Amino acid sequence: MLYKQYTLANGARIILAPRANIKSALFLVLVGTGSQNEDQRINGISHFLEHLFFKGSGRYPRAQDISTALDSFGAEYNAFTAKEYTGFYVHCAAMHLAKGMDVIADMLRSPLFAADELEREKGVIAEEINMYQDTPSSYAADLFELLLWGNSPLGRLTIGTKRNVASFTPADLRRYYAQQYVPRNMVVVVAGHFREEKVRQLIEEYFAAWPKQEVTDGAPSSVAADHHSTTDQEFADVQRTGTILLHHKKTDQAHLIIGVPSYGLHDQRRFPAEVLATVLGGGMSSRLFADIREKNGMAYYVGSFQQNYTQEGYLATRIGADVSKAVQATAITTKHYEEVKEKKIGSAELKKAKDYLDGKLILGLESLSDIASWYGMQELLEHRIQEAQEFMRLINAVSADDVREIARDIFHADRLYLALIGPYTDMSDFETAMKML
C-alpha cells in the first residue's frame, strides 16, 4: 500500500503518501463544500471564502504576511473551488514543509474575514467573472451544466454572480464557514518526502484541537424542481430552446459542448462510460478528433470526456470549430454517437482505449499534486480509496458489449444537450443537426 490513513478524534481524515525518492512535499487540505452546498442567495460564497482565507489569519494578519511567509522559501501555493469541494495546498522543498503547513493551517483555523478585505475582494472576483466569460472554451462547460441542471445547486456557476458577490457580508462568510469548515468535512493529505513522525505531530498540533461537530446545513438535492429556469438577469444574453443553450457572442471560433446525462461516482457504469468517451474523443487518434479535425479541418480542439459528480454525471464532447462549420461538426458528433449504439467497437480499438486510460493515469500519478488529489478526492467524495491498479482492473474488465450497452442507454435524441458560444441568432440548423441521433 502506497499510503497510510487514520482519523483524528474530531473526525478529520488524514492521508499520508510518502515518496522518499523525491525532494519536495505537498500539503493539501480538502473541504467537502462547494457551490453544490449553496442556495441561490449565497451562490458563489464557497469561492469567495477561498479568496478570503488568503487575506489574513491569526498569526498572519495581512494578506502580505501570508504571501511573504510562503514566498520566503519558494513555495507553490494556491486554492481551488469546485461544485463539491474546496482545496488549499502548498508545495515546497521537503525541508520547509512544516512552515508551509503552519501557514495553510492557520489560514483555515483562524481566518479574519476583515470587512475591508472583503470589500476589496468583491472587485477582484467581479473581474474574475469577466475573465471566465471572456474565455469561451472554459465558459462553455459552465453553460452546459447550467443547461443540464439549470437553477439548482449543481447547475449554478461555482463562481456565482456579480450580484451575489456584491451582497456578501462578513456575517455571511462567518456563518457559512462555521457550518462547513468542520473537521468531519475535511481530508488532509501530505505527499512526498517527509518524516512521518514529525508530520503526525504537526497534524495533531494544527487539527486535533478543532472541536468535533457536524456540518450543520445538509447539502441540497443536486437537481431541483425548477432545474430548467435560467431567468437570472445575469444570464440575459443566454437564449435557450429545448435542449440547446446559446450564448450570443461575437467570436471568430464557435465553442460548443454536446452531450448527455450519464452516471455519478457511485455507479459502476461509469467505467464503461469512461471507455466510451475515450473511443469517441480521447486523444488525437479518436473517432471524433480524426473525423472533425484531421479529415475535415473544421476545428482546432476536439475531445470527449465523462464528468462524474457524486450523484450525477454526463458524457460530452468539447469542440472549438470554425463559426461556419460548427453545425456540421455538431452533425458529425451526433452521427458518431449513433454509430456506437448500432455497432460494437472492435477489439483493437477497445484495447487502444484501455491502454490510453492506463497510460494517462500512470503519467498523472507522476506528480505530487495528482498523487495527493488521487487519494484525497476519493476519500472526500467516495469515502473509500482504491489504488490505481484497482481502477485499471475495472477499466480492463469492460467489454465491447458493455460499451455498446452504455451507448444505447445514454444516447437518445431527447436527452442530447448542446451549449454553444458564438455569433449566432438562430439555432434551427443546430436543432436539425442534433436530430441525427
pLDDT by 10s per residue, the chain, length 437: 689 999 999 999 999 999 999 999 999 999 999 999 999 999 999 999 999 999 999 999 999 999 999 999 999 999 999 999 999 999 999 999 999 999 999 999 999 999 999 999 999 999 999 999 999 999 999 999 999 999 999 999 999 999 999 999 999 999 999 999 999 999 999 999 999 999 999 999 999 999 888 887 644 444 443 444 444 445 556 787 779 999 999 999 999 999 999 999 999 999 999 999 999 999 999 999 999 999 999 999 999 999 999 999 999 999 999 999 999 999 999 999 999 999 999 999 999 999 999 999 999 899 999 999 999 999 999 999 999 999 999 999 999 999 999 999 999 999 999 999 999 999 999 999 998 78
Q: Rounded to an integer, what distance in angstroms lies between the CA atom of residue 159 and that of residue 44?
A: 5
* C-beta atoms surrounding 414 within 10 Å: 8
Q: Rounded to an integer, what distance in angstroms lies between the CA atom of residue 247 and that of residue 419?
A: 8
User: Any idea what the CATH number is for the domain that residue 56 is in?
Assistant: 3.30.830.10
For residues 424 and 354, membership in a common domain is answered with yes
CA-wise closest residue to 408 among 338, 346, 345, 350? 338
Q: For this structure, is 50 an active site residue?
A: yes
- Residue 66 C-alpha cell reads as 501570508
For residues 203 and 273, membership in a common domain is answered with no
For residues 134 and 12, membership in a common domain is answered with yes
Last residue of a domain, one of 185, 207, 229: 207
For residues 190 and 265, membership in a common domain is answered with no
For residues 245 and 139, membership in a common domain is answered with no
For residues 244 and 124, membership in a common domain is answered with no
Last residue of a domain, one of 190, 207, 224: 207
For residues 284 and 365, membership in a common domain is answered with yes
The count of residues in the chain is 437
Is 159 part of any domain?
yes
Question: What DSSP string describes 157-214?
Answer: -TT--HHHHHH--HHHHHHHHHHH-SGGGEEEEEEES--HHHHHHHHHHHHTTSPP--
For residues 341 and 419, membership in a common domain is answered with yes
Q: Which of 38, 50, 349, 379 is catalytic?
A: 50
For residues 139 and 39, membership in a common domain is answered with yes
User: Domains in the chain: how many in total?
Assistant: 2
For residues 281 and 410, membership in a common domain is answered with yes
Range(s) of the domain holding residue 242: 237-434
pTM (2 d.p.)? 0.93
Q: Rounded to an integer, what distance in angstroms lies between the CA atom of residue 169 and that of residue 55?
A: 15
Could you tell me whether strands 13-18 and 186-192 are parallel, antiparallel, or unpaired per DSSP bridges?
A: parallel
Is 219 part of any domain?
no
Q: Rounded to an integer, what distance in angstroms lies between the CA atom of residue 379 and that of residue 376?
A: 5
